[in-house]
Structures are given as C-alpha cells and as structure tokens.
Structure 1
Amino acid sequence: MTAEQDFAGRFALVTGAGRGIGEAVVHALAGRGARVLATDLTEDGLTALAGTYEGRVTARTLDVTDSAAVESLVAEAEAALGPLDVAVNVAGVLSVSPVADLPDEEWTATFAVNTHGVFHVSRSVSRRMAARGSGSIVTVASNAAGIPRTNMSAYAASKAAAVMFTKCLGLEVASAGVRCNTVSPGSTLTDMQRGMWTVGAEEASARGVVEGDLATYRTGIPLGRIANPSDIADAVAFLASDRARHITMHDLYVDGGATLRA
C-alpha cells in the first residue's frame, strides 16, 4: 500500500476541523483514502468540507466540552457509518494573559476545551477501539506544553495536561492494540497564530516569531520558517497510520527546532 492509500477503508473522527490544523488533518486523512467525520463547534468552515473527496467527508457540529454530546455523536456515527479506526483531537482555544490578570473564567474555559475536550473524545472512542482490539488516537497539543512561555500559562498548562492524559490512556489501552500519541506543533500559520500578531504589522510579527524574542525568553525557529498546517497534519497522519504501528505514548514535536527540545 502506498502512502496515498494509508487510510483506505478506514473511518476517522477529527475535532476542530473547521479551519487551521484541523482542516489540514481532514485533507491529509481523506486524501489518503479515509472516510472522515469532521467536527467543529460551529458550521463555519465545515460547509466547504462536507461531501468532499467523493463524499468521504461528513461534517457535524460538536461541542467537545459537552461529554454527553460527544458520546451521542460517537455512538450515532458508529451506528450509521461504521467503527472508528482513528480519532484526532485538534479542537483548541488560546488564552493570552499574565497570570496576575488571568480571570477564573478564562482559565476554566481554556481547560474545558484543551483538556476536558480531549478527555471526552478519547474516553468515548477508546472504549470502542479497545473492545475491537485496534485503533489510533492522536492529540494535537503544543510545544508550549514542554517549555515555559510568558502570558500563556493557561494554554501551556492545559496542553501539558492533554499530553500526559494521552500518554496515560496509551498505557492503559496498549494491550488492547490501541495506540495513543501526541503531536506538539510550534508556531503555525493559523488564525490562532495571526491573532497574536500586531494588526498592520503582520510581516514584522512573523519575522519576530522566526527570530525569537529575548525579552520574553522565547527562542526563534532554527529552521527559519513558520509551519504550515499541512506540516502538522502530515505528522498526525503518520502517527495515525500503520507506518507507526509500533509507536505509542510518543510526543512528536513539529516546531522547526524552536524549543531546542528542552
């Protein structure tokens, strides 16, 4: 089987699929033959995906913070479309604030999506995968989970929790033939990244990301470029595929060397 057919005959669930990395993951999996259930909080971005790849992509709204909604959609999807072979947790939100000014509500909302959402989806699909004796779960985290960042405590902490949760789940279900891995991107050209840039100075902001910022103790990117969403999606597709059949509980950094793998 060629890489272009890695997921032929397989069924995948992707959260946060309406844009950015999630959308790229849908294209990466469907482009390699998978049937994909693409989900996001709203229909924005999902409409263009629905019915693509010869009808292999189905789009549905989903609030990953709602455990009952997650369980209901997974059960409905498996009943209508067949057993899930792959699940990719991409849905995420970013909170940028010094700790001293961080409201309780913002901290809670960040964990609700980035950590609790990963738990809800992974718990639901792993139960079914383990019973069948196979499956792959990939969580998209962040390199911020492994290195301190100023003004990003909620985001970094929520992603670090998601990484460790995914590893613990991977240990529990390994004997049942289910693999659980994480991909930790660095700066990637998404709306989330652009939202941190200075309006009207996007080019300078992008250059600053690549060069780093001594004042905030942030290294630059040794490879000299900001990632495209497809760079992250290709890493996800690899870990979800049989090409990574002996890899589990792994955290793959895709950040151009930005964290120096600290």
Structure 2
Amino acid sequence: MNSLDEQVIIITGGETGIGRATVLQLAGLGARVVIGGLLEDEGSRTLEAVAAIGGKAEFHKADVRDVHQVDALIDGAVAKYGRIDGLVSNAAIFDGFASCIDTTDALWDQIMNVNARGTFYACRAALRHMVPAGKGRIVNVSSIGGVVGMADGASYTASKHAVVGFTKHIGCFYAKNGITANAVCPGSIETDVRSNSKKILGDDAPDMGGVGANQDWLKQAVPMQRKGSPEEIAHMITFLLSDKASYITGQSFVVDGGWTAK
C-alpha cells in the first residue's frame, strides 16, 4: 500500500493544467481528492478523467479570493471525511508579463488576491484542522517567478515570491506540529494558463501574447529547449505529499528544465 492510499487531499485550481495532472496522479494512487475551482466545465471533464481510471474525486465551485468559499471547501471536506491529510494550493492566474508601468491597480489586486491571498486562505483553513491532528502535508504551487525577477510580469512575480516566503514561514513554524509545507516552482509548462486567466480576469485581463507566446525563446532560455508537461510538475507535488518527503519542509523546488540554473 502506498502512503497516499485513502488520504484526503484538497487541491485548489485542480480542474486544469498542473492541477488536473496532480488530481489524476493522486487519484491513481488511491487518494480521495477534493477539487476547488472556478471553471465548472473543466471540473466536470477532470472528474470524467478520474472516473476513467477508477479514482475518487469530487469538484466544488470555489473562488479562492473569497475566504468564506475557501473555508467552506476545506471545512466541508473535513466534515465529510473526518480529516484533511494534504493540501495543494494551486489556483493561480497570470499577468501576461505586464511590466510595473503597464500593471493597472485592478490587475495587481486580482493577481495578488488569487495567487497570494488565495494561498493564505487555503493554508490557514487547512492548518486549523492539521494542527490539532498533529500531522499534514501542504504543497503551494509557486513559479520560477517566485525565485527570479525576470521570468514573469510585475504582479505575478510579486505574488509568487510571496508564496515562497509564506511557505518558508509556515513550513518552519508548524514543523513542531508534525506538518510539512513546501513550494513547487515550475518553469514554462504546457498549460492553458493564459486563456484560463483571461476567463477569470475578464475586463482586467492584459494582453496575454508577447514573451513566451511562441517557441523560439525556448532555445535561449531553457537548456532542455522544451516546455515541461503538467505531469512532470505533478510528480514533484505528489512526492512532497507522500511519506517519502517526511523530513522536508520550508523548501522550494524548481522544476524548469534548467532555466534558472544557467
């Protein structure tokens, strides 16, 4: 039996991209996965994919910008299953590489509210249950934009740096309670983050073209000269949720094809 069998794991933004790949890996390992997300059609398709492999998952519409919805997602899962073993805070939106001057107040607020505030809300709600239980695994999805300054736009970079710093704090502070918290920092990954971000941002969405919209830059930026797959990030997330990572906390793991190693 693997260490994730029958574990109750909640993931925000689990209906698309890295989130969906993680849901499928976790469900394939026997975990009970509770997905919180905004995109209901994508959530339904993810559940269909989970059912096809014989896994267990459920989808709840939840906006991580709303503390009441986040609390309801996590408290509801604990009420149903009696515990929370793991949290993956993955919900995020992109800023289209907008520079500081080009970042509107509305864009800054939206990016920070989803990426940073949403991670805070989810971790706080999960910790309220994990601390009394004396155990738990938290994985926050940041970005290489959380460790370097020239991979993304101004607001996205600030939000993902916030996720890394916040993860270090909770990883250290709650280690004595049997809880680990780590961040995963993907590089350029094959996802629909641009189009999904436009759906969520609405009128606040910037132009999502420009840098990174074509493949030419890969030869210059990424030693592997390709984008990563969502599954490659999900492998790291799954590992950090497992007992194999029991002595790892407060760390950030870059998965970027060598981009930041240059």
Q: Taking structure 2 as the reference length, what is the TM-score of the superposition? A: 0.88
Aligned 8 A contact 1:187 1:193 in 2: no
Kindly provide the CA deviation profile for residues 202-251 of structure 1, in whole angstroms up to 9, marking residues without a partner as x.
Answer: 7xx1232x113xxxxxxx11122210000000000001110111000010
Kindly provide the CA deviation profile for residues 93-137 of structure 1, in whole angstroms up to 9, marking residues without a partner as x.
Answer: 011212112110100100000000000000000121111011000
Match of 1:211 in 2: 219
Matched, 1:57 2:57: yes
| Deviates further, 67-76 or 224-233 | 67-76
Q: Taking structure 1 as the reference length, what is the TM-score of the superposition? A: 0.88
Letter of the 1:8 partner, please give it. Answer: D
Match of 1:94 in 2: 94
| Deviates further, 53-62 or 82-91 | 53-62
Deviation at residue 44 of structure 1 after TM alignment: 2.4
Match of 1:73 in 2: 73
| Alpha-carbon separation, structure 1, partners of 2:188 and 2:38 | 23
Letter of the 1:13 partner, please give it. Answer: I
Letter of the 2:12 partner, please give it. Answer: T
Match of 1:221 in 2: 222
Letter of the 1:116 partner, please give it. Answer: R
The within-5 A match list for 1:164-203 is 164-192=165-193, 196=208
Deviation at residue 187 of structure 1 after TM alignment: 0.2
Aligned 8 A contact 1:183 1:253 in 2: yes
Aligned 8 A contact 2:16 2:46 in 1: no
Query: Counterpart of 1:224 in 2: which secondary structure?
Result: coil
Letter of the 1:129 partner, please give it. Answer: M
| Alpha-carbon separation, structure 2, partners of 1:42 and 1:226 | 24
| Alpha-carbon separation, structure 2, partners of 1:151 and 1:38 | 27
Specify whether residues 173 and 44 from structure 1 end up closer, same or farther in structure 2 by C-alpha distance, changes over 3 A only. same
Equivalent residue in structure 2 for 1:8, among 5, 8, 16: 5
Deviation at residue 11 of structure 1 after TM alignment: 0.5
Letter of the 2:26 partner, please give it. Answer: L
Displaced runs of 4 or more, over 6 A: none
| Deviates further, 149-158 or 125-134 | 149-158
Structure 1: state its 5+ residue gaps.
213-219
Kindly provide the CA deviation profile for residues 15-46 of structure 1, in whole angstroms up to 9, marking residues without a partner as x.
Answer: 11111011111011111110000121131211
Letter of the 1:109 partner, please give it. Answer: Q
Query: Counterpart of 2:260 in 1: which secondary structure?
Result: coil
Deviation at residue 81 of structure 1 after TM alignment: 2.2
Deviation at residue 160 of structure 1 after TM alignment: 0.3
Kindly provide the CA deviation profile for residues 172-211 of structure 1, in whole angstroms up to 9, marking residues without a partner as x.
Answer: 110000000000000000112689556xx97xx1232x11
Match of 2:147 in 1: 146
Deviation at residue 260 of structure 1 after TM alignment: 1.4
Deviation at residue 55 of structure 1 after TM alignment: 5.5
Matched, 1:22 2:30: no
Deviation at residue 49 of structure 1 after TM alignment: 2.7
Q: How many residues align?
A: 246
Deviation at residue 167 of structure 1 after TM alignment: 1.1
